[in-house]
Amino acid sequence: MRIALLAYEGCMGTEIFGVSDVLLIASHIASAMHGKPQTPFELQVVGLGRRTVNLAGGIPVGVRRPSGSYDLLVVPGLEISRLDEWSSKLAPLARELAFIRKTFASGVAVASVCVGAFLLGEAGLLAGRQATTAWLCADELASRYPAAKPSAGAVLVEDGGVITTGAVSSAFDLAIHLVKKILGAEVASATARVALLSGPRASQAPFVDTALLAPGRPTFSHNVAQWLEARLAQTYDLERVAQAFHVSPRTLLRRVKAETGQTPLALLQQARVEKAKQLLTSTAWSLARITEDVGYADVATFSRLFARRVGESPARYRRR
């Protein structure tokens, strides 16, 4: 498999070399398992301008011009410090965007790591396709590329020759995904163990910290959510919530559903889970005490809700 790793000014080095190093390890493991040298991957770090590219943090790395045909183009993400600077960050990358667009049009699969999905979006590759990115930037991706179909929280999504992945460390998920596809599950599993990588990750949910998300403009549903968050331990009563906002229960449900795709109860459940996540990591409270503090009487019931929302049990989340 011939892979081009696209380096450009300000891109994240881990998202290039994390992929290449894991694929190298996998090749060595495959060679050992099969008793003969295996060279399933040919990788090139390519650039479109000078022979040296400054990665994020100003680290210089040598690159070569793209040459020949490739089976896959990997597009890393770029350094960002604010969530409102996409236009200024993407504007200097017109040459890279054209290369991504042309490469995909020629039949080559394209994969992005983390916010590399924004480059794919600018190049038009996400229209009509399921896509993911770093959870912190998921709302911006959906807003900037409305023709995309966001898979909120997914670690890796493959749709029509386009692969997108979650936050920075998902470079390793992408690499293991490629190893499994080319060399099989046994080599992929062995590579993950040797590299000290966890098993396949399906969701970014365990890592989401809503306190880090940029506050949006106040909306009706935002106000409802804040009202519910201030009353986590109280019993949910749809009629009471509706009265607080001077609307009928039916209107409350309709407006919240239209804005968020969820019910008020679902907003409350998410707020309770977020509060529990905070308490699990910042206190030594028992699960029973945390369960009571966020408004549940039964530990088992809340544990099931937590696992459904986060993708793992409260106990496992606390051990992270």
- What pLDDT does residue 298 have? 94
- Estimate the crossing angle of helix 299-310 against helix 264-282, to 10 degrees: 100
For 79-143, give the DSSP string: --S-TT-HHHHHGGGHHHHHHHHHHHHTT-EEEE-TTHHHHHHHTT-STTSEE---GGGHHHHHH
Mean pLDDT per block of 10 residues along the chain (320 residues) reads: 97 97 97 90 95 96 96 96 88 97 97 98 96 92 91 92 96 97 96 91 84 69 90 93 94 89 91 93 94 94 92 90
- Estimate the crossing angle of helix 185-194 against helix 14-34, to 10 degrees: 120
- Residue 205: count other Cβ atoms within 10 Å of its Cβ: 19
> CA dihedral in degrees (133, 270, 212, 134; nearest 10)?
-10
Q: Which long-range contacts (CB under 8 A, 24 or more apart) does 35-43 make?
A: 38/183, 40/1, 40/182, 40/183, 41/1, 41/3, 41/178, 41/182, 42/1, 42/2, 42/3, 43/3, 43/4, 43/5
For 41-54, give the DSSP string: -EEEEE-SSSSEEE
- Residue 147: count other Cβ atoms within 10 Å of its Cβ: 10
The Cα–Cα gap between 85 and 66 comes to 29
CB contact at 8 A, 131 and 166:
no
- What pLDDT does residue 214 have? 58
Note the pTM of the prediction, 2 decimals. 0.76
- What pLDDT does residue 153 have? 84
- What pLDDT does residue 200 have? 80
Which domains does the chain carry?
2-207 (3.40.50.880), 215-319 (1.10.10.60)
Q: Exposure string (b/e) for 229-246, b if CB count within 10 Å is 16 or more?
A: eebbeeeeeeeebbeebe
Q: Which long-range contacts (CB under 8 A, 24 or more apart) does 199-204 make?
A: 200/173, 200/176, 201/155, 201/170, 201/173, 202/154, 202/155, 202/311, 203/153, 203/154, 203/155, 203/310, 203/311, 204/132, 204/134, 204/135, 204/153, 204/154, 204/155, 204/166, 204/167
Question: What is the rounded end-to-end Cα distance, in angstroms, of the chain?
Answer: 35
